[in-house]
Amino acid sequence: MKEDFEIQLNKGIDFILDQLEHGNTIEGLKKGRLWMGFEQVKEWKSKFGYKFHIYSNDHLIDNKPHFHIIKESENIDCRVFFDGYVYDCKKENHVKKKVKEALLYFLTKDKNQNLLINFWNLKNPELKINTH
């Protein structure tokens, strides 16, 4: 079950980053514009390397839940609130501007918020939060 939430979140941000990589914009996505390409059907693997992670037995920061956005190849590990505010980064590297924009757009979708909330509640049952 944990993998389902994590994989769906990772696929979602990867999709948006792929759209941006192929010349689409956040504004274009908001208007429903999509870049479509054809590739051989295969098991999904992150193209950009970003992963959502929520630790078990975590804690609230300023009374808010958070997730980590991690990209191991670039030593990125940042704590991010569910509204997209980057609270801090553990290592020297930060999330690039284009990735922040994609993340903000990604987090505007109720489906993604519900995935995050369910993922948080699964990992931290003593700190459950309500869906909106």
Per-residue model confidence (pLDDT) at position 41: 64
Q: Which two tokens stand for residue 29?
A: 């996505």
Domain ranges of the chain: 2-24+48-127
Instruction: Work out the average pLDDT over 115-132.
Output: 88
pLDDT value at residue 36 = 87
Tell me what the mean pLDDT of segment 36-55 comes to: 82
Determine the Cα–Cα distance for residues 67 and 101; give it in Å rounded to an integer: 16
In the sheet that holds 51-53, the strands lie side by side as: 51-53, 66-71, 76-81, 86-89
